[in-house]
Structure formats: C-alpha cells, structure tokens
C-alpha cells in the first residue's frame, strides 16, 4: 500500500467511527440501514470507490475497515449495495442504464439489492423458478419469489435473475438473464425474513407477481446470465472475503482486550500460557489469510482475479471467522454468551458467512475442479 492508501485507511476508520458505530445498534434493531445513513455514506464518497484498476486498493481498505466495525449485517448491506449489486451495472450495463442508476447508487439516493437466490435455488441454480415472460412489444412480465435478499426491505431496485426462455433440463441458466426491476413497480411485494444473525442487512423475500419490466432494463444480451454470474460471483467472493478478514481482525481485538483486562486471581488472563498460545494461533492464521486477501486485491487491481483465488479467499476467511468467533466467545465465558453482547453477535453472525456467496462444500468442489 502507498502512503496515500494508509492515510485513506485512517480517513475511513474515522468516518465509520463517526457515522456507523453510533447508529449501528439502532440499524440492527430496525433491521436495515436507514435512508440518512445511506445518504451520509454517499456524501463521504464511500459508495463510489473503484471496482477495478489501481483504485481498487482503496476499496480493499474500505472493506477491511467496514468489517472491523463488528456488524456483519451492516457490512453485508453496504457490500451488496456498493459492490455486489452495483458490479452488474458496472460490468454489463449499457450507457443508458448506467446513467439511470449509477449516480443514485453512488450518492446513496437509490439503494441496490441483488435478487438471485430462491428457496429451491441457492447454491444450485438449476431449480431457478423466477421467469420473465416476453411480451409482444419486447418488454417482460416477471413472476417468481426471491429469498434472503440483502437490502430487500429498503431497496429501490433489484438486480434480478430470471428465466427468459425454455431451456433443456438441467441447463436453465443457458436461457436466463439479469434484469433491473424497480421496487416501485406494480406487483413487487416484500416479506420480512428474520434470521438468526445479520440483523442490519434488511433481509427479505421479494415476490414478483406479473411485474412489468421494460425491455431496456435487460442487462447485456438476453440469455447471458451464466457468463455474467461467473464473472460477478468472483468479484462478490472477493468482496465477501475482504469484509470477513476485517471482521476477524475486530474479533481478535476484542479477545486480546478481554485477555488483558480480565483477571484470574491476581493475574490477567493473558498471563496464562494456554490463552496466550491460543491467541497467537489465531493471530498467525489471520496473518496468513490477510496476506492472501491482499494478494487477491492486487489481482483485482491488475484485472487478473480468477475464480480459484476468489473462492479460496472466501472459503478460508468465512470458515476462520466462525472459529475465531467461537474461541472469542468461550474465552469470554458467560459474559460473551449474553444475548446482547458484542461477542454473541459475532458468533451468531459468523455462520452466515459460510452460507452466503456459495456454501463451503460448493467452493471446495469448485476449487478441486480448478486444480
């Protein structure tokens, strides 16, 4: 990182401390980031960071610091809006679409969501049921229900995966497309989906009942969803991995602070060899994963990010986040197990990371196939 990058880290850390941390508990209670929060993030320029090229290193810094806030639901909401959903517009949107949507996304005035998963189509999308029927004028009527949509409760539009033709059995994605669907269109209904964790992510089921979508809201060419997903998912897993690494860093900061402050008899917990070694092991693993995360970020800067690198980062960071949260909680004992403690929040949130963006079993199979 350059000196400018390091200064940018201090700027981001200060900005998140002033904007996110004072409001995080209220956002978690409300189940979503509020409009004022989105606008404030936009005003600070934090929703308009680069997705590619040398400027992506600033995004890597931002995502790490966002993870270090310790609120996985909030970081997921912002990550989906500013990176995962926005990436489809950046990668596949035409000039008209980018002009219509990206300024609002970057300013926080139009909140983005990614509507891909369904109850019976998550890691395996061959059971995709949402369909976009082509009308005589080339427009679409969309039918179907998407599940676990981050920002679903507050989104202004959804980047949506739908079938746009008849496909052979088992090859549904060969006849599927990505559509931009405005939340205010008739036939769009949202249903809350309360989860164990990720409470600030605005997770919802979104139902489309004959939603009229203009032909100019098709992203790229029709029936190109498979190739679009493959490219966008690599980026999504990179983003998820960078967020997770920041979250692990926060977890270890909590653990170290508690070990120094909590006393057992006349000595701090950190004086115990077993505790010191456990923290050291966690620190070593974080250092290795952090170095790999920086490698993946550099690959993205160079336009060389590949599926294996993105998948390895997402797999190892998400799984290590679960282990780190578990160790942090057990060291805190009953204090950490309290329902509203920061440690219990980390613990219940961590498991969501091994599900979103591809479950671990899927990623292991993919990594094996890639050799």
CA distance 208 to 49: 31
Question: Same domain, yes or no, for 254 and 154?
Answer: no
Residue 1 has a pLDDT of: 67
Question: Same domain, yes or no, for 99 and 192?
Answer: no
Q: To 10 degrees, what angle do helices 72-79 and 225-261 make?
A: 150
Domain boundary among 52, 74, 107: 107
CA distance 223 to 269: 59
Residue 211 has a pLDDT of: 98
Question: Same domain, yes or no, for 211 and 127?
Answer: yes
Question: Same domain, yes or no, for 341 and 243?
Answer: yes
CA distance 315 to 357: 10
CA distance 192 to 65: 29
In this predicted model, what pLDDT tens digit does every residue of 93-132 receive, in sequence order?
Answer: 999 999 999 999 999 999 999 999 999 988 788 889 999 9
Question: Same domain, yes or no, for 172 and 133?
Answer: yes
Positions of the chain with pLDDT under 70: 1, 170
Number of domains in the chain: 3
Domain boundary among 172, 206, 222: 222
Question: Same domain, yes or no, for 89 and 36?
Answer: yes
Predicted structure pTM score: 0.95
Question: Same domain, yes or no, for 234 and 324?
Answer: yes
Domain boundary among 222, 238, 256: 222
CATH number reported for the structural domain that contains residue 72 in this entry:
1.10.540.10
Three-class SS state of 186:
coil
Where in the sequence is the domain holding 304, given as residue range(s)? 227-370
Residue 14 has a pLDDT of: 97
DSSP class of residue 126? G
Q: How far is CA 281 from CA 181, 209, 213, 248, 277, in A?
A: 47, 52, 53, 13, 6
Residue 2 has a pLDDT of: 78
Instruction: Name the pairing type of β-strands 157-163 and 112-115.
Output: parallel
Question: Same domain, yes or no, for 84 and 129?
Answer: no
Question: Same domain, yes or no, for 32 and 129?
Answer: no
CATH number reported for the structural domain that contains residue 146 in this entry:
2.40.110.10
CA distance 83 to 63: 10
Question: Same domain, yes or no, for 128 and 79?
Answer: no
């Amino acid at each position: 990182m350059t000196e400018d990058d390091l200064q940018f880290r201090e700027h981001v850390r200060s900005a998140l401390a002033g904007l996110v941390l004072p409001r995080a508990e209220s956002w978690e209670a409300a189940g979503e980031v509020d409009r004022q929060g989105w606008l404030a993030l936009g005003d600070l320029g934090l929703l308009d960071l680069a997705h590619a090229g040398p400027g992506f290193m600033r995004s890597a810094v931002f995502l790490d610091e966002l993870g270090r806030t310790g609120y996985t639901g909030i970081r997921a909401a912002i990550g989906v809006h500013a990176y995962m959903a926005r990436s489809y517009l950046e990668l596949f949107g035409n000039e008209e679409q980018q002009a219509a949507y990206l300024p609002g996304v970057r300013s926080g005035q139009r909140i983005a969501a990614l509507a891909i998963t369904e109850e019976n189509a998550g890691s395996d999308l061959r059971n995709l049921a949402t369909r976009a029927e082509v009308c005589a004028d080339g427009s679409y009527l969309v039918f179907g229900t998407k599940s676990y949509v981050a920002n679903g409760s507050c989104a202004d539009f959804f980047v949506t995966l739908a079938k746009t033709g008849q496909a052979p059995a088992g090859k549904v994605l060969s006849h599927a497309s990505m559509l931009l669907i405005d939340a205010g269109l008739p036939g769009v209904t949202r249903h809350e989906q309360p989860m164990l964790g990720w409470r600030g992510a605005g997770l919802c089921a979104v139902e489309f009942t004959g939603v009229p979508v203009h032909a100019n809201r098709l992203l790229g060419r029709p029936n190109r969803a498979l190739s679009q997903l493959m490219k966008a998912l690599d980026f999504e897993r990179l983003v998820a991995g960078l967020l997770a690494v920041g979250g692990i860093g926060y977890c270890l900061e909590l653990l170290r602070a508690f070990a120094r402050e909590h006393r057992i008899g006349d000595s701090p917990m950190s004086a115990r060899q077993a505790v010191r070694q456990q923290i050291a092991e966690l620190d070593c693993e974080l250092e290795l994963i952090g170095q790999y995360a920086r490698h993946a970020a550099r690959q993205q800067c160079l336009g060389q990010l590949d599926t294996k690198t993105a998948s390895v980062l997402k797999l190892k960071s998400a799984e290590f986040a679960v282990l780190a949260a578990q160790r942090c909680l057990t060291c805190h004992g009953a204090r950490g197990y309290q329902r509203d403690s920061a440690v219990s929040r980390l613990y219940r949130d961590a498991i969501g990371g091994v599900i979103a963006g591809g479950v671990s079993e899927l990623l292991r199979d993919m990594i094996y196939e890639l050799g």
